[in-house]
Amino acid sequence: MTDPLAAWRGNPFFVLGVSTQASRAEVERAGQKLLGLLALGSASARHYDTPFGPATRDADSVRQALATLRDPNERVVHELLANIAPGAAGKHTDHPGAAWKGAEHALGWSGRWAE
């Protein structure tokens, strides 16, 4: 099952943990700090928060994020996509039309499929 928001969670601003108004120096500084922490093997540096829930980062994605934000056109594109009004998350499971996660177990397909 595809995770529809995976690409959105990988927005460079979320990955680096900076605001869309940050200056170039701040972006580079944050990136360099994260690369250092990841090189040290810090576990807390691997997780970050997005409006759609938590995600994980690694050195490659931090580097990619830094490179993307260096190009002004790309940066503005990602700024627009990172600016989301609050309240975007958390509306999933309450909806009546949400998935019936226990379907397989309940109906005898005991769910021992190789995932």
Partner 1 sequence: MGGVGLLIFIILFFALRRGGASSLPKVFWQVAFWKFLMFVAVLPLIAMTGLVGVAVLVLEIILLLAPALVLRWIVVPLGVPRVAYWGATYCWPFEVIHESSAGAAFYGALALTRRRSSRQAIDWLEESVNRAQPVRGAGVVAAGLLAALRGDRHRARCLFLVADGLHRKLIPKRVRAIARDWLVVDAARIGNWHEVIRLGRRGYEDSLRWSYAIARIGERLSGDPRGCRAWRLWLCWLVAPRRLATFALLRRALAVPRAPKQAAAEPAVAADLPEALARLAPLLENRYAHDGRSFAASVCAVDAALDGPATRTLVGQRLLALGACSEKVESGSLQDMRPPEDATERPDVDAVMSGVRARLADLLVPLIEESPMLTSGEVRGPILDQAVERVRLRLFRDIEAQCKDYNDRLKGETSLPTVAEWETWALMRDAANRVLELDPESEIALFHAMYVPVCNFAVFQHNKCMRRTLAHEIYSWLHRHSQSDPSAAQLLLGNVRASEA
Partner 2 sequence: MKPRPLYVGIDLGTSNSTAAVFDGEELTVVRNGQGSVLTPSVVRIDGRGNVLVGARARRFLETDPANTRGEFKRLMGTTHTLEFPASGAIRRPEELAADVLKSLRQDVADQLGVAPQRAVVSVPALFELHQTAATSDAARCAGFERVELIQEPVASAIAAGWTRESGNGPWLVYDLGGGTFDVSLLETQEGLLRVVGHDGDNFLGGRDFDRALVDVVIAKLAADGVVIDRADPRHAVALRRLRLAAEEAKIELTRAAEAPIFLAGLDLLGQSVDVDVIVTRSEYESLIAPIVDRSLDICARLLAANGLGKDALERVVLVGGPTVTPFLRERIRAVLGLGFGEGLDPMTLVAQGAALFAGTVALDGRPSGPATRQVGDAAGPKVWLQFPAMTSDLSPFVVGKPLDRSGSVKKVKIDRADGEWHSDPTPCEADGTFAIMVRLLPRQNTSFNVSGELADGRTVALDPPQFSITHGTTLGEPPLSRSVGVALADNRVQIYFNRGSPLPIRRTFVLRTVETVNPDSAGHALKVPIVQGEFTLAHLCRLVGTLEIPASALTAALPAGADVEVMLELDRGGQLRARARIASIDQVFDQVALLVTPQVPLAAMDDALAKLRVRAADLSRSAFHGRSGKAAARLSAALPRLEDAQRNIAAARGGDLDAGEQARRELSDFDALLAEVEADQAWPELGQEIEESFAIAVSWVAGHGSEAEKSTLNNAYRACKSAFVGKDADEVQRQLGVIRRLGSAAYLRHPGAWDREFEYCAARVAESTDIRRATELVANGQEAIRKQDSAKLEQIVRALWQLNPVDRDDQKLGHGSGLRSR
Q: Which residues sit at the interface with partner 1, rule CB under 8 A?
A: 1-2, 4-5, 7-8, 51-52, 72-77, 79-81, 83-89, 91-92, 95-104, 106-110, 112-115
Q: Smaller CB distance to partner 1: residue 59 or 88? A: 88
If 0-12 CB within 10 Å is exposed, 13-18 middle and 19+ buried, where does residue 41 land? Answer: exposed
- Letters for 15-34 (x = contact with partner 2 by CB under 8 A, - = none) are --------xxx--xx--xx-
Site residues (CB under 8 A) for partner 2, limited to 54-73: 60, 63-64, 66-67, 70
| Angle between the N-to-C axes of helices 24-39 and 59-70, in degrees from 0 to 180, rounded to the nearest 10 | 170
If contact means CB under 5 to 8 A according to the sort of partner, which of partner 1, partner 2, none does residue 58 touch? none
Residue with tokens 């093997």: 41
- From CA 90, how far away is CA 100, in angstroms rounded? 17
Classified as helix, coil or strand, 48 is strand
Q: Give the nearest distance from C-beta 22 to partner 1 in angstroms.
A: 11
Question: Is residue 59 a contact partner of residue 35, using CB atoms and an 8 Å limit?
Answer: yes
Which residue number, 59 or 84, has a Cβ lying nearer to partner 1? 84
